[in-house]
A and B are shown apart, each in its own frame.
Chain A
Amino acid sequence: MSGTPARSMALPAAVAVGVLVAWAGLASRLPEVLLPGPISVAHAVVDRWELLGRSALSTAGSAGLGLLIGSAVGLGLGVGFLWSRALELAVYPYALLLQTLPVVAVAPLLVVWLGYGAPVAVASAALVSFFPMLTAAHVGLLGVDPEQVELFRLYGASRLQELRWLRAPSALPAVFAGLRTAAGLSVIGAIVGEFVGSNGEPPSLGYLVLRSARSADTALTFAAVIAAACLAGVVYWAARTAEARLIGPWHPGQGGGRA
């Protein structure tokens, strides 16, 4: 794959221009309540900049904290599964079940337990980011070259040494792949949590989407959706950068591997 900086900027930019043109064309044929044009969305962004910014920050905070909690629990449980087959047998089915739990259905419970707003968004983001991280840790920690494990055993390495110097580093590529999935999901999770478990204090992107749709302010809805997409992009980019920094030098196909 070629990845000159100019091309890697120009290609997405060309797509963006194409999408904008198609969007404007389509919007000019539809009433604004169905599809606001790029110009009116841009107006909404500029006019409501302060509200959008505060909402995006609140959502980013919830997504980030949720991702942190989901990752910590997922990775911790992954190590637990590595060390205890019994724990894996006992807990894995429920972890799977948790993944299918619709946040919408339990949002009222989350509100009762945690209160309105950010706590529900954090819990919802943690809930959706937990499973990809658990799977990644599980696969990554087990997917070690058996001969390397033998090597460590031969030198009498402890379980902790084996984890720290062999399994954890060798799981990093899988964990980062999981993190990329989880990072995007955490933003969606936070927004869903806000959508069903927010009372507008503080304002958040999920709340803005809900509120603006109710008042038929589609331009603001789109602005909030675009802010959410930017947020997901930033989170993904951060995960990707951390990945390239940490494992790029040695893991083929990541970051530096394409150069």
Chain B
Amino acid sequence: MTFSERFSTMWAPVLFSLAAVGCSGAPAPGPSAGQPIRLALNWLPEPEFGGFYEGVLGGHYERAGFAVEIIPGGPGAPTLELLASGQAEVAISAGDDLLVKRSRGVQALGVWAAFQNTPMGLMVHAESPVLRIEDVPAGAEIAIEVGGPFQTFLWARQGWEGKVKALPAAGSVGPFLADPARIQQAYITSEPCVARGKGAEVRFLGAGEVGWNPYGTLVAVADPAPAWTDDFVAATQAAWEAYMADPARANAEIARKNPELSAEILSCVTEAQRPFLVGEDGLGALRPERFDAMASTLSSLGLLPPGATGAAAMRPRGAAQP
């Protein structure tokens, strides 16, 4: 365990409850009438959150009685912690993150997911002989978030321990572009399009194909779920469907919020992420079996206690209020 993990394991529940005591004032009423919702993103404004922006701009949330304020995130955005401490009503997270945080005392429930298949994976140059993740040869080097759950999973499941070298990823595609043999961790929503924008031909190898497939852009609310949950989920579904049909308005807003994204990258990402959003079950669906499978994967990696299950971390659509 790294220091930071140990730190958060030991202290996070204590600190979060302190924070909750300090910050649990009633949310201030939003500018427009309706149930105020602070929606905390787990990354900077990018197309992977396009539907939420469409929900605000297209009035989907307002019509359903919500006044939604989107709070952008950044590296390590503690969205579930913000939810737990009452500073957000909706947190965007990922399937694995939700399970791990729940095991550490954060009371949150997954209710909807945009990415049916994880946007995470590996990126190689188009001319690379590596066609699938299983093809990565012994002696290769991969720039990856060292110690992260994906890296832990890959090395354990692919038998790479002692064979493949993990290099700390610096969050830049520069070294990748300079080295045709380079393999790098990537999100379909980011690095491949940046690399293409710089003139490189790349191949994206999705993590879902080798069995690492947590839901992405997972909408989480407090557990037990608030009364407005079903209405919010329905509005979110409608908003995302509208975004998939016509991303122009939301993408313009994203470009305004995040001027570093060029128009080319925006449209590249919007197209590239499409298949990952829909998946097999369709946009927004959640299946308890997948949470259980993720929980058992995390258990086997030592990231959750042995025998952990995941189904309780989600709430089926339309479940009756207790």
Contacts and interface: CB of A to CB of B under 8 A. Distances in A.
Given A51-B259, A112-B19, A201 B72 contact: yes
A136 interface: no
B320 to A, nearest CB: 32
B46 to A, nearest CB: 10
A217 B261 CA distance: 10
A71 to B, nearest CB: 26
Nearest to A216: B173
A218 interface: yes
B74 A216 contact: no
Main SS of chain A's interface residues? helix
B157 interface: no
A34 B178 contact: yes
Contact of B4 (A51, A104, A115): A104
Interface string B70-114: 011111111001100101000000000000000000000000000
Q: Interface size class for chain A?
A: 35 or more
Interface string A205-244: 0010011111111101100000000000000000000000
A51 B260 CA distance: 11
A109 B260 contact: no
Interface in B35-92: 41, 44-45, 71-78, 81-82, 85, 87
Given A31-B178, A34-B178, A200-B72, A216 B198 contact: yes
B177 A108 contact: no
A127 to B, nearest CB: 15
A34, A109, A199: residue with the most chain B Cβ atoms closer than 10 Å: A199
Contact of B87 (A112, A198, A212): A112
B207 interface: no
A166 interface: no
A139 interface: no
Interface string B171-185: 111110110000000
Contacts of B190: 214
A33 interface: yes
A171 interface: no
B216 to A, nearest CB: 17
Among A31, A112, A197, A211, find the residue whose CB has the most chain B CB atoms closer than 10 A: A112
Nearest to B258: A200
A210 B171 contact: yes
B16 interface: yes
B171 A105 contact: no
A163 interface: no
Nearest to A211: B260
Contact of B177 (A33, A104, A112): A33
Contacts of A200: 44-45, 72, 74, 257-258
Interface string A105-130: 11111011101100000000000000
B68 to A, nearest CB: 16
A81 interface: no
Given A33-B178, A216-B172, A199 B77 contact: yes
Nearest to A220: B260
Contact of B72 (A51, A106, A112, A199): A199
Nearest to B191: A214
B28 to A, nearest CB: 14
B218 interface: no
Contact of A113 (B19, B75, B197, B262): B19
A102 interface: yes
Contact of A218 (B3, B75, B174): B174
Nearest to A113: B19
B18 to A, nearest CB: 9
B87 A196 contact: no
A72 B20 CA distance: 28
Given A109-B15, A215-B260, A196 B76 contact: yes
Interface string B261-297: 1100100000000000000000000000000000000
Given A34-B175, A112-B85, A196 B74 contact: yes
Interface string A128-160: 000000000000000000000000000000000
6 contacts: A51-B259, A102-B3, A106-B7, A107-B76, A108-B78, A210-B75
